[in-house]
Amino acid sequence: MIPGPYLLYLGNSRDEVGIKTSRGLAVFRPEECVGEFRHDDCPLTLGLTRLTIAQAVAAGAKTLVLGIVNAGGKLAPTLVEDAEAALAAGLHVASGLHHRLKDEPRLAAAASRHDRLLFDVREPPADVPVGTGAPRAGRRLLTVGTDCSVGKMYTTLLLEKAMRARGLRADFRATGQTGILIAGSGVPLDAVVADFISGAIEQLSPPRDDGGWDLIEGQGSLFHPSFAGVSTGLLHGAQPDALVICHDPVRAHMRGVPHFKLPDIGACLEANIRVAQLTNPAVQAVGIALNTSAMPRDEAAALCADITQRFDLPCTDPVAFGVSPIIDRLLQCFAP
What is the full per-residue pLDDT of the chain (336 aa) written as tens digits? 899 999 999 998 888 888 989 999 999 999 999 999 999 999 999 999 999 999 999 999 999 999 988 766 678 889 999 999 999 999 999 998 888 999 999 999 999 999 999 999 988 888 899 999 999 999 999 999 999 989 999 999 999 999 999 999 999 999 998 999 999 899 999 899 999 999 999 999 999 999 999 999 999 999 999 999 999 999 999 999 999 999 999 998 999 899 999 999 999 999 999 999 999 999 999 999 999 999 999 999 999 999 999 999 999 999 999 999 999 999 999 987
Q: Is 301 helix (H, G, I), strand (E, B) or coil?
A: helix
The CATH code belonging to domain 6-120 is 3.40.50.720
- Greatest Cα pair distance in the chain: 61
**Sequence-distant (≥ 6) Cβ neighbours of residue 9 within 8 angstroms:** 22, 36, 37, 38, 64, 65, 66, 67, 68, 79, 82
Which pLDDT does position 98 carry in this prediction? 84
Which pLDDT does position 72 carry in this prediction? 60
Q: Indicate the burial class of 85 (C-beta count within 10 angstroms; 0-12, 13-18, 19 or more).
A: middle
In the chain the beta strands, taken as DSSP E runs, fall at 6-11, 33-38, 63-66, 92-95, 118-120, 139-145, 170-173, 213-216, 242-247, 284-290, 315-316
Residues linked to residue 246 through DSSP beta bridges, in sequence order: 145, 289
**In whole angstroms, what is the distance from residue 205 CA to residue 82 CA?**
37
**Sequence-distant (≥ 6) Cβ neighbours of residue 230 within 8 angstroms:** 189, 190, 197, 219, 220
Give span(s): CATH 3.40.50.720, the chain. Answer: 6-120
**In whole angstroms, what is the distance from residue 115 CA to residue 213 CA?**
41
255: which DSSP letter?
T
Matching CATH number, 139-333, of 3.40.50.300, 3.30.360.10, 3.60.20.10, 2.40.70.10: 3.40.50.300
Which pLDDT does position 71 carry in this prediction? 62
Which pLDDT does position 292 carry in this prediction? 97
Residues linked to residue 174 through DSSP beta bridges, in sequence order: none
Give span(s): CATH 3.40.50.300, the chain. Answer: 139-333
**In whole angstroms, what is the distance from residue 264 CA to residue 287 CA?**
15
